[in-house]
Amino acid sequence: MFTAVSRSIVAFCFAAVLLAGCIPIPLVLPVEPQPSAPAVPPQQTDREAKIQNAMSAAPPAIAENATVIDWPSEAHSEPALLHQGSNQWTCMPDWPATPGNDPMCFDPIWAAWMNAFMMGAEPEVTALGVMYMLVGGSDASNTDPFATQPPEGEEWLTWPPHIMLLRPDGFDTDEFTTDYTSGKPWIMWEGTPYEHLMIPVVAGGEATDPVAPTDSVEAKLRNILGAAPQSIAEGAMIMDWPASQGSEMAMLREGSNDWLCVPDWPATPDNDPMCFDPTWTAWMGAFMSGAAPEVSTLGVSYMLSGGEYADASDPFAAEPPAGKEWVRPPAHVMLIAPGGFDTAQFTTDPTTGNPWIVWEGTPYEFLIVPVE
Determine the pLDDT at residue 232.
97
Determine the pLDDT at residue 35.
31
Mean pLDDT along residues 107-126: 92
How far is Cα 160 from Cα 142, in angstroms, rounded to an integer? 14
The band of 248, judged by pLDDT with boundaries at 50, 70 and 90, is confident
Determine the pLDDT at residue 75.
63
Reply yes or no on whether the pLDDT at 6 is more than 50: no
Q: What is the pTM of this model?
A: 0.88
Residues paired with 27 in a beta bridge: 8
Reply yes or no on whether the pLDDT at 21 is more than 50: no
User: What are the pLDDT digits (tens) for 280-302?
Assistant: 999 999 998 899 999 999 999 99
Sequence-distant (6+) residues with CB within 8 A of 153 are none
Eight-class DSSP state of 99:
S
Eight-class DSSP state of 176:
S
User: What are the pLDDT digits (tens) for 48-90?
Assistant: 999 999 999 999 999 999 999 998 777 666 778 999 999 999 9
Q: How many residues does the chain have?
A: 372
Residues paired with 270 in a beta bridge: none
The band of 27, judged by pLDDT with boundaries at 50, 70 and 90, is very low
Determine the pLDDT at residue 18.
36
Determine the pLDDT at residue 181.
95
Per the prediction, the chain carries an average pLDDT of 87
Reply yes or no on whether the pLDDT at 91 is more than 80: yes
Least confident stretch, 18-32, 233-247, 254-268: 18-32
How far is Cα 143 from Cα 147, in angstroms, rounded to an integer? 9
Reply yes or no on whether the pLDDT at 137 is more than 70: yes
Determine the pLDDT at residue 288.
87
Eight-class DSSP state of 183:
S
How far is Cα 173 from Cα 195, in angstroms, rounded to an integer? 11
Q: How many CB atoms lie within 10 A of CB 68?
A: 25
Determine the pLDDT at residue 355.
98
Contact (CB, 8 A) for 96 and 30: yes
Mean pLDDT along residues 6-13: 33
User: What are the pLDDT digits (tens) for 148-157?
Assistant: 899 999 999 9
Q: Please, which contacts does 51-55 make with residues 24 or more away whose CB atoms are closer than 8 Å?
A: 51/82, 51/83, 51/93, 53/93, 53/94, 53/101, 53/103, 54/82, 54/91, 54/92, 54/93, 54/103, 54/104, 54/105, 55/91, 55/103, 55/105
Query: Closest by alpha carbon to 367, among 300, 319, 275, 322?
Result: 300
Mean pLDDT along residues 153-166: 96
User: What are the pLDDT digits (tens) for 337-353?
Assistant: 999 999 999 999 999 99
Determine the pLDDT at residue 42.
41
Mean pLDDT along residues 358-366: 97
Q: How many CB atoms lie within 10 A of CB 32?
A: 8
Least confident stretch, 65-79, 84-98, 112-126, 179-193: 65-79
Reply yes or no on whether the pLDDT at 17 is more than 90: no
DSSP string for 19-43:
TTSEEEEEEEE-SS-BTTB-SS-GG
Top pLDDT among 160 and 39 is at 160
Query: In angstroms, how far is the first alpha carbon of the chain from the final one?
Result: 20
Contact (CB, 8 A) for 284 and 315: no
Q: Are strands 332-336 and 366-370 parallel, antiparallel or unpaired?
A: antiparallel
How far is Cα 352 from Cα 367, in angstroms, rounded to an integer? 14
Determine the pLDDT at residue 22.
36
Reply yes or no on whether the pLDDT at 136 is more than 70: yes
